[in-house]
Amino acid sequence: MRLIDYLDKGASLGEGAPCLTMGTTDLSYGDVQRFSHRVARALQRSGIHAGDKVAVLASNDATAFACVFGISRAAAVWCPVNPRNEAAENRFVLDAFDCGCLIFAGAYAPMVEQMRAKLPKVKLFVCLDQPWPFAVSLAQWLEGMSDEALDVPVVDDVAMIAGTGGTTGQPKGVMLSGRNLETMSALTLMGYPFDGRPTYLALAPLTHAAGVLTFPVMALGGRLVIMPKPDLTDFLALVEKHRVTHTFLPPTLIYMLLQHEKLATTQLDSLQCFWYGAAPISAARLEEALAKIGPVMAQLFGQTEAPMMISMMAPKDHFNADGSVAQSRLSSAGRPGPLVQVATMNSEGELLKAGETGEIVIRSSLVMLGYYRDAKATEEVGRFGWHHTGDIGRLDADGFLYIVDRAKDMIITGGFNVYSVEVEQALMQHPDVQDSAVIGLPDDKWGEKVVAVLQLHAGRSVQPEEIVAFVKARIGSVKAPKLVEIWADLPRSKVGKVMKKDIRAEMLQRMPAPH
Residue 169 is predicted with a pLDDT of: 61
Pick the CATH number of 410-510 from 3.30.300.30, 3.40.50.720, 3.30.1330.10, 3.30.450.20: 3.30.300.30
pLDDT digits (tens, 9 = 90+) for 95-148: 999 999 999 999 999 999 999 999 999 999 999 999 999 999 999 999 999 999
Residue 418 is predicted with a pLDDT of: 82
Residue 165 is predicted with a pLDDT of: 65
Residue 300 is predicted with a pLDDT of: 95
Cα–Cα distance for residue pair 326/322, rounded to 1 Å: 10
Residue 515 is predicted with a pLDDT of: 45
- Residues of the chain predicted below pLDDT 70: 165-169, 494-495, 513-515
The DSSP secondary-structure symbol of 316 reads G
Residue 413 is predicted with a pLDDT of: 83
Provide the 10 A C-beta neighbour count for residue 264: 8
Residue 442 is predicted with a pLDDT of: 86
Residue 279 is predicted with a pLDDT of: 73
Q: What does pTM read for this prediction? A: 0.86
Residue 167 is predicted with a pLDDT of: 45
Ordered by start, the domain boundaries in the chain are 28-156, 180-406, 410-510
One-letter amino acid at 374 equals D
Instruction: Tell me which fold the domain 28-156 belongs to.
Output: Rossmann fold (3.40.50)
The H or E element containing residue 284 is helix 283-292
Instruction: Tell me which fold the domain 180-406 belongs to.
Output: Rossmann fold (3.40.50)
Phi, then psi, of 121 in degrees rounded to 5: -80, -20
**CB contact at 8 A, 112 and 125:** yes
**CB contact at 8 A, 1 and 186:** no
DSSP strand pairing (340-345 vs 335-336):
unpaired
List the 340-345 sheet strands across, edge first.
Answer: 340-345, 358-364, 387-395, 401-406
Cα–Cα distance for residue pair 136/124, rounded to 1 Å: 8
180-406 and 410-510, same CATH topology: no
CB proximity list for 431: less than 8 A, separation 6 or greater: none
